[in-house]
Amino acid sequence: MTKTVGIIGGTGNIGEGLARRICLGGKFDVIIGSREASKACVAADGVVCELKDRKCTATTCSGTTNEDVCSSDILIISLPFERVQGTIETIGKAAFENKIVITLINPMIRNPKEKYFLPDAPAEGSAALAIRKMLPESTRLIAAFNNVAANKWMMLDEELDYSVAVCGDDEEAKKTVMELVGSVSKLKPLDAGPLAMTKVVEGITPLVITIAMRNGLKDVGVYFK
Amino acid sequence: MTKTVGIIGGTGNIGEGLARRICLGGKFDVIIGSREASKACVAADGVVCELKDRKCTATTCSGTTNEDVCSSDILIISLPFERVQGTIETIGKAAFENKIVITLINPMIRNPKEKYFLPDAPAEGSAALAIRKMLPESTRLIAAFNNVAANKWMMLDEELDYSVAVCGDDEEAKKTVMELVGSVSKLKPLDAGPLAMTKVVEGITPLVITIAMRNGLKDVGVYFK
């Protein structure tokens, strides 16, 4: 049976792009979640139109509340870091028991005037390590998709051929997430070790934004090879 | 006049590779430094032989003590992080006044059994930020060359075409270092913002080593594009 990916905060820019890209990959169904089910439904309708335009009928996309999205096999938390704790509390921690949960969050300090962004990790060392503490012990938290250039998610005519570092402490869950990553455009999943590696991986996003700003480049991504 | 690059700790593996690569680039002379001048001279002789073999006569390479290497225009500190403080004290801080100094150091914790390396930054957040405090205020400290796959330095028949993130708070010194980076093989220097960005850049080395170990790859490097 086709596995379902639920996107918590799926009506943000990255969330909607992710939904499109995962559906177009054809291997996973998608449920878009939002605080308001109506917003999620509108977003899902947009994805469905796009899928039809592109003659993709392999997968489905629907919209619902963040709470109901938790029936999915895999959850992606696509929220600003500041909103994660509150959203988990609203949904209720029990919904996350034994789940595979993906974080792609990169907390950053912006200094556009001096042309740089820097990581702004919480005391735990990374957003992922902080979110780890907010979730039940049985949750299988994996970090992935962190460094994909944000604007590129929605540019469906452009292939995504970046390397994607996948970090986590549950090897089986990591494998499943690597399959998901590998189903999206030409993304190349790489096992990047334990969740603690997010101390590095989350920082690569402010680094590539800084590199773009300072070297006259656009939508810089990362390749490990 | 050709600028001179002095390598403190130039008889290590990376130091000797750097010396060869910089000389072969043809734009900078090199002085190899070591605790013992005799060791540095032997290393420099090795470079000179290699240059002759490869018909390169554009630049020179000589060997001397770490102290005397400080007459160079640009200094590269190529030492294990634990030895930096002691070496600076032995040489004397005054030798570093107003100098352009490059650090390529990435402190790491090794866990080969579980197949990962993690960053092991000092309290300052990175080796570069700690070294910044060890040097006079007038020293223009720049981080570069951090993520070049270590084994590749000495494989002179292989081109290095990696991206090199260059970080520092002195924009003019950064430009000079970017020229140096750009003179080496096919390395691509990128302005990566302030020295504080080394919190990320130094961590990329344990990340790429981990990626290599876990994904059956060899000598993984990084490309930002």
What is residue A112's predicted lDDT score, i.e. its pLDDT? 83
Mean pLDDT of chain A: 96
Give the gap in angstroms from C-alpha B202 to the nearest C-alpha of chain A.
9
Which residues of chain A lie closer than 8 angstroms to B206, CB-CB? 197, 200
Cβ contact A223–B220 (<8 Å): no
**Contact indicator for B204, A200 with CB cutoff of 8 Å:** yes
Interchain CB distance below 8 Å, A221 and B224: yes
Rounded to a whole number, what is the distance in Å from the CA of B72 to chain A's nearest CA? 29
Residues 6+ apart with CB under 8 A from B64: B31, B32, B33, B37, B40, B41
Give the amino acid at B191: D
- Partners of A190 on chain B (C-beta within 8 Å) are 211, 214-215
Q: Could you tell me what percent of chain B has a pLDDT over 90? A: 94
Q: Which residues in B lie closer than 8 A to residue A215 (C-beta atoms)?
A: 190-191
pLDDT tens digits for A22-70? 999 999 999 999 999 999 999 999 999 999 999 988 899 999 999 999 9
Cα separation of B59 and B48, whole Å? 9
Say whether pLDDT at B1 is over 90.
no
What is the rounded distance in angstroms from the CA atom of residue A185 to the CA atom of residue B21? 38
- Residue in the block written with tokens 């998709």: A145
Among B119, B165, B192, the residue with its CB nearest the CB of A200 is B119
Q: For residue range B167-190, what is the model confidence (pLDDT) as tens digits? A: 999 999 999 999 999 999 999 999
Residue of B nearest to A218 (CA): B225
Ranges of H-type helices in chain A: 13-25, 37-53, 66-69, 84-91, 127-134, 171-183, 198-214
Q: How far is CA B162 from CA A222, B17, B186, in A?
A: 11, 16, 7
pLDDT reading at B20 higher than 90 = yes
Mean pLDDT of chain B: 96
Q: CB pairs under 8 A, 24+ apart, for B46-52? A: B46/B16, B47/B16, B47/B19, B47/B20, B47/B23, B50/B20, B50/B156, B51/B20, B51/B23, B51/B24
- Structural domain boundaries in chain A: 3-214
Contacts of A223 in chain B (CB under 8 A): 222-225
- Report the candidate in A125, A123, A22 with the shortest Cα–Cα distance to residue A78: A22
Read off the pLDDT of each residue in B206-213 and give the average, rounded to a whole number.
97
Does the pLDDT value for residue B209 go beyond 90? yes
Cβ-Cβ contacts under 8 Å, A165 against chain B: 207, 211
pLDDT for A178 beyond 90 = yes
Structure tokens at B72: 């160079």
| CA distances for B214 relative to A29, A192, B200, angstroms | 29, 7, 21
- Residue A143 Cα, gap to closest chain B Cα (Å): 14
Q: What is the pLDDT of residue B13?
A: 85
Report which residue type is found at B139.
Answer: T
- Residues facing A111 on adjacent strands: A116
- Closest Cα of chain A to B73: distance in Å? 26
Give me the percent of chain A exceeding a pLDDT of 90: 93
The residues on A that touch B, with CB distances below 8 Å, are 114-119, 165, 190-194, 196-197, 199-201, 203-204, 206-208, 210-211, 214-215, 217, 220-225
Which residues on B lie below 8 Å from A222 (Cβ)? 222-224
Confidence of residue A109 (pLDDT cuts 50, 70, 90): very high
Q: How confident is the model at residue B40 (pLDDT cuts 50, 70, 90)?
A: very high
- Reply yes or no on whether the pLDDT at B12 is more than 90: no
Closest chain A residue to B149, measured at CA: A225
pLDDT tens digits for A130-140? 999 999 999 99
Chain B interface residues facing chain A, Cβ-Cβ under 8 Å? 114-119, 165, 190-194, 196-197, 199-201, 203-204, 206-208, 210-211, 214-215, 217, 220-225
ipTM for the assembly? 0.96
Tell me what pLDDT residue B162 has: 97
Q: Which of B116, B203, B208 is the closest to A199 by Cβ?
A: B203
Q: Chain B: nearest CA to A81, how far in angstroms? A: 19
The topology (CATH level 3) of A3-214 is Rossmann fold (3.40.50)
Calculate mean pLDDT across residues A119-127: 97
DSSP codes of every residue in A107-142 = -EEEETTTTEEEE---TTSSHHHHHHHHS-TT-EEE
Above 90 in pLDDT, residue B150? no
Interchain pair A222, B217: CB under 8 A: no
Distance CA A7, CA A138 (A): 20
pLDDT of A119 strictly over 90: yes
pTM of the entire structure? Answer: 0.96
Q: Which among A135, A144, A147, A215 is positioned nearest to A175, based on CA atoms?
A: A144
Rg, C-alpha atoms of chain B: 16
Q: B200 vs A197: CB contact, 8 Å cut-off?
A: no
Determine whether the interchain pair A118/B193 forms a contact, defined as Cβ–Cβ distance below 8 Å.
yes
Region of poorest pLDDT, from A52-56, A61-65, A74-78, A104-108 = A52-56
pLDDT range class, residue B112, cuts 50, 70, 90: confident
Q: What local confidence, expressed as pLDDT, does residue A1 receive?
A: 79
List pLDDT tens digits, range B50-99: 999 999 888 999 999 999 999 999 999 999 999 999 999 999 999 999 99
Q: Is residue A13 scored above 90 in pLDDT?
A: no
Instruction: Please give the average per-residue pLDDT across B32-51, as a whole number.
Output: 94
